Amino acid sequence: MTSTPTIERPAPVKNRASKQQSARTGARSAPLFGLPAAAVVALLLYLPFLWTTYVSFTDYDGLASPVWSGLANYKAMFSDPDLIGALVNTLLWVVGMVTLPVILGLLIAVLTYGHRWGSWLRLPFLLPYAISGVAVGVIWGFVLQPDGALGQALGYFGLPGAHTGWLQAGPGNTLMMIVAVTWQAAGVNALLFVIGLQSIPAEPLEAARLDGADGFRLFLHHLWPQLRPITTVVIGLSIVGSLKTFDVVWVMTQGGPGTSSETLALSMYKETFVLNDYGQGAAIALFLSLVTFAASILYLRYQLADGDSR
């Protein structure tokens, strides 16, 4: 016995006018869903920034009411030799972090990529990134102190420098701390470069190898141009991170001896929380924020403009 198939009737179609009305209602109510997030951002980011900007133009010790002082804090900042030295050290950090960790990370990535044990070979370089900057400062402070691990190792093998005060004079102390942070940062840079290498199509590389390209020639003319996007990210992160360097310097030298290894971030902390000069600390904080923002924007604009011209 055959059964008669049931024919489903199509659902009634809504009126076009009602659809348009519903769309307009949804468009009007959509911004309301963003209000909580906007309120959180304003409360935690914009309001503190505006308050810091105001305090930077005042004489304020954190207890009494701020007293308007105009540009006095900024004039003092640019006429203070210690703060000028902190600015020079910060620029030294920028140069160091844009070169050493980036070059070492790229070298690790290229040498281990495609290797059978590549992941395991990269693991020792990646592990230091899992620890904090404070832990890096403690470890390398032990290594670089006058009778520390490095000095004892050099003395054991009869090499010069066994009793060198690696952290006792600038700018050598800053350079040694850059080496310490390079030990931590090279691994994650290598990981980012490996991600970039994995995004490169295999066919052009195979064609280049068939044409005789190999080794450094293959890297220079085929790999390196295609690593440009990830290189932009790595260098951008290095610039921003170096401008805000604080924890390693504080743990290893506290900016000393004297102020020979201070950075702008460390000077901001000392002025605010050690000397209780909140106005001066806010001026340094605002200046550092503007420098970081300007450096990031200029670098990205340069990279994008250079990429469009190619």
Rounded Cα distance, 26 and 20, in Å: 10
- Find, among 256, 255, 258, 279, the residue nearest to 267 by Cα: 255
* pLDDT at site 91: 94
Rounded Cα distance, 266 and 137, in Å: 14
- Find, among 132, 156, 161, the residue nearest to 144 by Cα: 161
Instruction: List Cα–Cα distances, 250 to 138, 146, 285, 303, in angstroms.
Output: 10, 18, 17, 33
Cβ atoms of residues 72 and 59 within 8 Å: yes
pLDDT per position as a tens digit, 186-228:
999 999 999 998 888 877 777 777 766 676 777 777 788 888 8
* pLDDT over 80 at 131, yes or no: yes
Phi, psi of 115 (to 5 degrees): -75, 150
Number of residues that this document lists for the chain: 310
pTM of structure:
0.83
pLDDT per position as a tens digit, 216-263:
777 777 788 888 889 988 998 899 899 989 999 999 999 989 899 999
Token digits for 236? 């951008």
* pLDDT over 60 at 309, yes or no: no
Cβ atoms of residues 154 and 161 within 8 Å: yes
- Who wins on pLDDT, 276 or 37? 276
Instruction: Give start and end residues of each alpha helix (H) in the chain.
Output: 16-41, 47-55, 72-79, 81-112, 118-126, 133-144, 149-156, 172-198, 202-210, 215-218, 224-226, 228-243, 247-252, 264-269, 278-308
pLDDT per position as a tens digit, 98-125:
999 999 999 999 888 878 888 898 889 9
Sequence-separated (6 or more) residues with CB below 8 Å from residue 204: 222
| Cα-to-chain-centroid distance, residue 301 | 18
